[in-house]
Homo-oligomer: A and B are copies of this chain.
């Protein structure tokens, strides 16, 4: 295995796939479109990833591994320092996603891909995500349970479910709110994260 002076074929494919999956969906983006955008040969996808389905999983793995690590790291730090509150725990969940979406190298599109995964009721994909990253949600749910002891288990899960919906939708930039021409992309997204934490904290403790 050798590394090109530029980006490796693997990474070029992953980047192009991420972008096209966000724009046209998993079924809507063909491997020919992906390999053309990545400027690599068509057969390279099956050589490096085995199949289109494996490529899709790898697009998630590339981002979610680090995203999950950062979220859990922040949560652990809050618990250790005894500064865990509704707002700080929400921040621990949202800020890593915000940082990812601000990453120069196409992190923002990935959040759209992630939202598509929710829209897909594809069982294989859901199982893959649940198996590999379900423990992150579980840890955060436990933290919220400690912060909202007056809520019974059912009530808590209802609210967390709704909260995840709001977060997913907002981070994927589905909404109708356009960035104000004066604001930078960074400022726009940071503002959104602040509103998101404020709104969700209120809903959780309502």
Binding site for B on A (CB under 8 A): 22-28, 112, 115-116, 118-121, 137, 155, 157-159, 161-166, 168-170, 172, 174-177, 191-192, 195-196, 198-206
Contacts and interface: CB of A to CB of B under 8 A. Distances in A.
Q: What is the predominant secondary structure among interface residues of chain A facing chain B?
A: helix
A91 to B, nearest CB: 16
A174 B119 contact: yes
A152 B48 CA distance: 52
A204 B164 CA distance: 17
Count of identical protomers in the assembly: 2
Nearest to A141: B176
* Interface-centre pick from A115, A119, A192, A206 (highest chain B CB count, 10 A): A119
Contact of A159 (B119, B137, B199): B199
A126 to B, nearest CB: 10
Contacts of A203: 166, 199-200, 202-203, 206
A161 B163 CA distance: 14
A78 B28 CA distance: 43
B195 A202 contact: no
A14 to B, nearest CB: 20
Closest 3 A-B residue pairs measured CB to CB?
A165-B169, A202-B206, A27-B28
